[in-house]
Amino acid sequence: MNLPVLHLDTLWHATDYSAEAERLFREKQQTFINSHEHWLIDGNYSGSLDERLPYVDKIIWLKMSRFKAIFRVMKRSWAFHKNRQSRPEMPSEFTEKLDSAYLDFLKFVWDFPKKSNKRLAAQLDQFQTWDKVVVLKNQREIEKYLTNEAKNL
């Protein structure tokens, strides 16, 4: 889409995950938003969504099946394990291994529809942004959407 992109994983996984890191994480998002007229931010991080929602033109909500989400996470992890360049957006110090933290992340992904969709919907309600939400449920919808958006640029 030829827009400046901020990958939230890049910001967050370059930190020590402390309270100070969270403050800086929010601050850097705001700096990015203020530095660009149009932008794209990749990632959910609902804990800092309130930093972004007041400024959005559009929200792309990928509502993949749990199985597809888990499969993609594991596929992405395997590719990253074999070749770090498969995720150039990740900070050099980021590592990923099959440990309890990784299993916790898989559980988070699996539980997301049940546990987080309501919270995310409440945040969208709070900022009255439902009219800006585009829900995409599968790869075909994603490709169709991107094709149509490219035509509108």
pLDDT digits (tens, 9 = 90+) for 60-113: 999 999 999 999 999 999 999 999 999 988 888 888 888 999 999 999 999 999
First to last CA, the chain: 8
Model pLDDT, residue 132? 92
Predicted local distance difference test score (pLDDT) of residue 153: 61
Residues 76 and 87 sit within 8 Å (Cβ to Cβ): yes
Q: Which of 96, 57, 89 is nearest to 73 (CA)?
A: 96
Is the pTM above the cut of 0.95?
A: no
Tokens, residue 32: 């990015």
Residue entry with tokens 């900070």? 91
pLDDT of residue 2: 81
Mean pLDDT, the chain, whole residue set = 91
